[in-house]
Structure formats: structure tokens, C-alpha cells
A and B are shown apart, each in its own frame.
Chain A
Amino acid sequence: MSKVLLQVSELSMRFGGLLAVDGVEFDVKTDEVFAIIGPNGAGKTTVFNCVGGFYKPTSGIIIMDGKPIHGMPSHKVAREGLVRTFQNVRLFKNLTVLENLLVAQHQNINTNLFSGLLKTPAFRHSEEEALENAARWLDFMDIREYANREAGNLAYGHQRRLEIARCMITRPRLLMLDEPAAGLNPQEKRDLQQLIDQLRREFDVAVLLIEHDMSLVMGVSDRIMVMEHGKPITTGVPEAVQADPRVIKAYLGEE
């Protein structure tokens, strides 16, 4: 039974004289991959930033599983189970791959100062658990051999996978991917498509996706929203969107 997980209505974001997002409405269901596409500057990432709490939307309502989250600071939004990746990967570059995954588990680790100073059994146990958890995700992403390397030294494709692992280790309910295929080679893109499918099947996570790569979007999404100039043009299943003349016009211009 799929229900609505994220509900966005009447979302607008104004930067000075520019209305970057204007009346955007969509919802993401619990077991769905929902994609937002559109030409450059259409306002996709701004929508992401509003949903993730990085911007305070000018107006609009964002409800996550029955709880309004608009206007919440981003770290609180993340604790509600909405976690995102970034267009240009934002890893902790000087920390090791493993440490990146440990930091992400901060909320679930025993962070008591004194138990840490004294290395109490409870503290050790929680550290070990975090390590095991991290190791599991490294295996899952096939990057375990790089565990002790600095994250900034990984190949770009691996950095992307690590960033997704870092999100998933927080056990999100909604994973937001901002152009995850940018800079990947064709093989890596196919792997990414598989990965998204697998994440949703095995970890009960809904995916909100921004992507320019059409084959990936069409292959992986259940529904797609097309945006242009901050406004949604249409929302629907991939086939319908592909055939929509307004979408073709937005992408290719007037005939």
C-alpha cells in the first residue's frame, strides 16, 4: 500500500526580483522514484533546497509524513528522514572514506563525552556498531578497498557512490539525489540506475531525483515532473511526459 510521503504545495521562492520557483506542487509516495527535470535554470535545485531546509521558501507548504517541515532548519529536516546529495559532491575530503560514514551516523552514536573519555563498554559497543554499519555500506557500494583513504582522493564515480552511501547510512525515508549522474561514464550511469532500483527495493526509501540524463530518468522514474522558468509544466508517467508537446517545446524550443 503506498501512501503519500512528501507533499509539496504552492511552493514559491523569490530571490529579490526573480521568482525562481513559482507555485510548484507535487507529491512523492513511499515507494516511488519521482524525478524533476527541466532545462538549466528551471528552478529544480531551488526546489531541492527549499524541501531540504537550506532555503526558507517565500511561500508554500511542505509536509513530510503528516508533519509540516517548511521553515525548519536543514539539520532538523534531515532528522525527519529527508537526506540529500549535492550537484557537485560534498564529501569531507580530508576525512577518510570510513570516517565520512561515521560522521553521518552521529545521531545514532553514543556521543556522551564522559563515556567516550573513559571508553565505557557502552561507548565501545556503539563505536563498533557504527564501524560495522559503515563496513556494510562500503561493501554494498563496492568501495570497501578504499575505506582508509581520504575521500577527496577517490575517483569521481566512487565519490558519488560514497555520497549516496553517506546518505543511506542515516536511514532516510526520502533520498534526494541532485544530478547523481553528472560526470559519470556510461557504465557508471547504468550502475547508478541499478543502484537506485536496488535502494528502493531493499531499503524502503523513496527517491526524489533531479537529473539531466534522459535515459536514466526514463529508465528509473515512476513519475516525472517537468519544470520550466520555475513553474511545473506537467507531471506524469515517463511515457506521457515524453509525448507531451509542451515538454518537447520546452526542451527543443519552438518549431
Chain B
Amino acid sequence: MISNIKNAFIAALMAGVIITPIYGLQIVRSGMETHIEPEWDLVLIGMGIVFVFQAFIRPTVVHLLGKRSGSFQMPVLNDKARRGSILLLIAIALIWPFFMGRAEVDIATLVLIYVMLGLGLNIVVGFAGLLDLGFVGFYAVGAYTYALLYHWAGWGFWGALPMAGLMAGIFGYLLGFPVLRLRGDYLAIVTLGFGEIIRLLLINLYDYTGGPDGISGIPKPTVFGMPMARRAPEGQTTFHDFMGWQFDNMDVIIYLYLMALALALITLFVSNRVIRMPVGRAWEALREDEIACRSLGLNPTNIKLSAFTMGAVFAGFGGAFFAARQGLVNPESFTFLESALILAIVVLGGMGSQVGVILAAIILTVLPEVAREFAEYRMMIFGLVMVLMMMWRPQGLLPMKRPQVELKS
């Protein structure tokens, strides 16, 4: 108790030091003059709150948590539970657009884009253990590949989609080649720089990319060559005419949703398979001990490169779809915050855990939409959640139990 009071006293003093410049020394402008007007009562109230919290509330909370820590445990998913929950999620996802309204389906499409990006980054960060802070760069490459191919060569979505993946993969490969001999922090910094370089290039190559204005009027994906729009260009039939339907914007939204779902499912399938393949094992081995890997003849650069490139390819697909959905791309969509968000999805979900990533993508996309009134506090809440997670559940929401190859006797 004594030590609590002492700690609380120190904490209150520290709080005083920190908030004095903010509240204690308010700068007030009156006409030409500027003078400082202290608001000591605010500072004192702040210190008081900190003191009470540290002295009485925190010990109680810690006490309660400590008592319950035995019974309070989040689940760790085993193989069966993981399979079950994935099937359940897929089932919900399939019926979702037919029972929900327009806004819900739209948000769900956004969620699926982030699921795809999260699963892609999960390969790089979760499986191979390479901290990539510039993931959004590959997303941008994918989006602009479609946008530019459309703008300059009139390509459609389906032709541009593989190109977007390919281009992002090439960028991933080219960047990875010199960079992947770096480790940990250095790698993170270089990839961070890469993401920014891509964005700045997009802004400054004005003649090609339209600079800050971006490229607009990008068409939505077609259905077997038939555009999904109210009116078809000369000589083409629209999808609703072909089917004999009335044009309904909701159909377009559902179609986009189903496409996003298909892309996300492909990503899920590939990342799920690949971790059970030799290359997936090599990623994990490399994450554990690079020197031991080398001593067994595994080439670390190639193995890292494969993870990096594969992650980039998925980001590229995601980007192309994003461009098609928005109908507009500009560099604003590809800031570092976006990378941070995708990384947060992976970390929050539990590195390497696919179900966790899906869950985290849902939470981090839906929450800001639900809590629109708190939009200004979004980043703060975001940070708070991350700090709390790191303190109490550093392994993520649903940590992965590694899929293992079992030897049957």
C-alpha cells in the first residue's frame, strides 16, 4: 500500500511535468500581443486523476486480473477448430450480400480487400519473419498497373489483373534482391522507404500518373466480357440486358463483393497450402535460425525472396481490385498509414495465424465505420488497442498452432 502511494505520487508528479506545457502554459493571443496564461487548476485536476488511478484503481484492477488469470484464457486454435471456423466464416461470407443492405455489403467488400492484404503480408511477416513496412507500395503498384494499362492502352480488368500481380511481384523481387540481406530493423526501415518512394514517384510522374489527381474513370470488372453498368459502350451488351433484368446498382455491389470474396479465398487457399509445402517449412526454419539454414545448404536470399515476392503478388491483386472498385486511384490511398494498418491486422490477429488475420481485418475495418463519431480519436484508440494487446496478448487474438507434418507410426 505504501509503495502504491509512493508510485502514485511519482506518477502524479510526472503527469504534472508532462501536462504543464499543454494546459499550464496556454498561449493566448490578444491583438498584437501574445502572452502566456497558466491554467493551474487543469494541471492539478489532471495530477489528481493520475494519483487516484495509480494509488487505488490500478492496484485493484491488477489484483482482479491476477486472480482471474488462471481461468481467463483466450483460445489457441488447433487444426480442427481452425478448419471449422474458416468454413463457418466462408459460409457467412457467401450468404452475406443476399441478406444485407448496400452499406453492409460495401463494408464487407472493404473487409475482404484487407483480408487479402493481411493474408499477403502474413506470408512475409508471419511466416518468413521479415518485417515489411512498405507493403502498401506493392498495393499501389497493383492499383496503378491496372489504372495505367486502362488509361494508356485501354485494357480491361481481367487482362490487367494478372499483370498487376506480375508487376507487383517484379517490384517485390527487385526490391528484395538487394535488401533481404539486411535484418530486422534495417529491413523495416528500407521497406518503409520503398513504400514512400513509390508514393512520391506516383505524385511526381505527373505526365503519366496524373500526379496527385490520380487516374479516374477506371471501369469495373466485366462479367464474361459484358460490362456491369447502366449503359454499355457502342456495340456491347450490358450484363443486365443480357439477363433481362432491370439495372440495379446493388447488383454491381454484390458482384464486386463476390469477386473480392473469390480473391480473398484464393489468397487464403494459397497461403494455407504454401505453409505446408517445402518452401513454407524453409521460411519458418529461416525465421528460427538463418545460420543453421545456411549450414544445410539452403540459400537464405532465395527463400526470403520467395516470401517477399509472393506477398507482393497478393498485394498487387488487391491493388488492381481496389482500383476497379473505386474507379479512381490517387497517391493518397497509399500512405504509410495504410501499411501500418495492414501490419496491425497481422500483428493483432496473431502472426502466422490465418483465422486471426481474418478476424483482425474485420475488427479494424468495421470498428471505424461503426464508431464514426469518434473518427478523430481513431488513431488514438488504435494505438491504445495495440499497446494493450502487446501487454496482455502479444501473441495476437488467435495465435496459430503451427500446422505440423505428423509421422504416423
- Residues of chain A at the chain B interface (Cβ within 8 Å): 52-54, 73-76, 78-79, 83-84, 86, 90-96, 98-100, 102-104, 106-107, 109-111, 113, 116-117, 127, 131, 134-135, 138, 144, 147-148, 166-167, 170
Question: Is A166 a contact partner of B296 (Cβ separation < 8 A)?
Answer: yes
Question: Is B295 a contact partner of A148 (Cβ separation < 8 A)?
Answer: no
- Min C-beta distance of A171 to chain B, whole Å: 10
Question: Is B296 a contact partner of A131 (Cβ separation < 8 A)?
Answer: no
- Min C-beta distance of B22 to chain A, whole Å: 46
Across the interface, name the chain B residue whose C-beta is closest to A80. Answer: B297
Contacts of A73 in B (CB 8 A): 294
Contacts of B270 in A (CB 8 A): 117
Size of the chain B interface, CB-CB below 8 angstroms: 29
- A97 to B407, alpha carbons, bound, how many Å? 10
CB-contacts of B281-309 with A (<8 A): 281-282, 284-285, 288-289, 291-300, 306
The answer to the question of B402 belonging to the interface, with a C-beta cut-off of 8 Å to chain A, is: yes
Question: Is B278 a contact partner of A75 (Cβ separation < 8 A)?
Answer: no
Question: Is A74 a contact partner of B292 (Cβ separation < 8 A)?
Answer: no
Interface centre among A73, A93, A111, A134 (most CB of B within 10 A): A111
Question: Is A134 a contact partner of B292 (Cβ separation < 8 A)?
Answer: no
Identify A131's interface contact among B300, B402, B407, CB under 8 A: B407
- Min C-beta distance of A74 to chain B, whole Å: 4
Question: Is A75 a contact partner of B298 (Cβ separation < 8 A)?
Answer: yes
Known pairs A98-B407, A99-B281, A147-B407; A79 contacts B288 (CB<8 A): no
Question: Is B405 a contact partner of A116 (Cβ separation < 8 A)?
Answer: no
Known pairs A102-B281, A106-B278; A92 contacts B406 (CB<8 A): no
- Residues of chain B at the chain A interface (Cβ within 8 Å): 270, 273-274, 277-279, 281-282, 284-285, 288-289, 291-300, 306, 402, 404-407, 409
Question: Is A148 a contact partner of B407 (Cβ separation < 8 A)?
Answer: yes
- A86 to B279, alpha carbons, bound, how many Å? 24
Across the interface, name the chain A residue whose C-beta is closest to B282. Answer: A106
Question: Is A170 a contact partner of B297 (Cβ separation < 8 A)?
Answer: yes
Contacts of A111 in B (CB 8 A): 277-279
Given contacts A75-B295, A96-B405, A107-B298, 9 further A-B contacts (CB under 8 A): A74-B291, A90-B295, A98-B407, A103-B285, A106-B278, A110-B278, A147-B406, A166-B296, A170-B297
Across the interface, name the chain B residue whose C-beta is closest to A110. Answer: B278
Question: Is A90 a contact partner of B291 (Cβ separation < 8 A)?
Answer: yes
- A166 to B285, alpha carbons, bound, how many Å? 13
- Min C-beta distance of A95 to chain B, whole Å: 6
Question: Is A54 a contact partner of B274 (Cβ separation < 8 A)?
Answer: no
- Min C-beta distance of A111 to chain B, whole Å: 5
